[in-house]
Structure 1
């Protein structure tokens, strides 16, 4: 009977190659309060994507980047392009191509949605407006992160928009804090 060199599914690395797992663990431990548990992963050669309870990690070897699920405003899997992409709350974008995504697309959607505590649309001009949201980190506690996003057709440069958004944010926060 041949001995398998693959890691058992129930192991800590969940099948992630040993060197990639070691680099990921080392990098993740530099950011306290983030559980080092793999929920799903994909990748090949020396580039990987790892989904853990608190973060989405991309990289390989000693070069890993971690994004808290609560920092991702939107994104998802494009099956035609075989690409997982996202936009962070600060506008930075990320993407990774995956030949075999496994469970990552579902995990991505579930984890990002799990961070949303409040999401409220406030109309400013007809069907145009702002979405006010509060997000929570999925590990280590921490304060809610409040964010506003304008719908298409509105611009921060339009006179009065910034003030209207500030009012909508203040109202939503006051309403939420009273609950």
Structure 2
């Protein structure tokens, strides 16, 4: 009978409890193309967060939610609240409370920034305008995701704003020739 071996600190699970690691791996395998490699993790029980090369995973043994780094518009770590929070490109919000965040906030910043291929501000009315960005999935698949975000003081309901944003987006896309 083989002797069980201890898992080294540099192993694939990087110290994540075995049941959480197994459930996370199973969840990641449901979406082909995702690399099930842990870069950083934090939390305990059902309040876990795992950063892998292409996605941020939150949850625990009972279930996981995955969001691609390229889908996160903004977010970060709030040390006072002990919370990692984010806003996705589609406006949905997410957060996870972590008593000891470890390296996860740093990884969060690095991975989100790594997805940005283009970020350009286009003024529409003085200091107000639109930020146009193109994001790439870090799993190596899929097209660029183009996104527009208005600054404060501008509204999509204001006459002419949608047309101006559409024109600015078209010009930016043609300038970078990334369709």
Deviations 1:76-116 (A, max 9, x none): 00111111000000000001111000000000000000000
- Whether 1:40 and 2:40 are equivalent positions in the alignment is yes
Name the residue aligned to 2:23. 23
Q: How many aligned residue pairs are there?
A: 174
Contact 1:6 1:15 in 2 (8 A): no
Gaps of 5+ in 1: none
Name the residue aligned to 1:63. 63
Compute the displacement of 1:6 (Å).
7.8
SS at match of 2:172: helix
Compute the displacement of 1:142 (Å).
1.4
SS at match of 2:12: coil
Name the residue aligned to 2:152. 152
TM-score (norm 2): 0.94
> Whole-Å Cα distance in 2 between the matches of residues 20 and 158 of structure 1?
48
Compute the displacement of 1:7 (Å).
4.1
Compute the displacement of 1:140 (Å).
3.3
Aligned alpha-carbon RMSD (Å)? 1.3
> Whole-Å Cα distance in 2 between the matches of residues 145 and 45 of structure 1?
34
Contact 2:76 2:108 in 1 (8 A): yes
Gaps of 5+ in 2: none
Superposition misfits of 4+ residues, deviation over 3 angstroms? none
Deviations 1:110-166 (A, max 9, x none): 000000000000000000000000000000321100000000010001110000000
- Whether 1:10 and 2:7 are equivalent positions in the alignment is no
Contact 2:47 2:96 in 1 (8 A): no
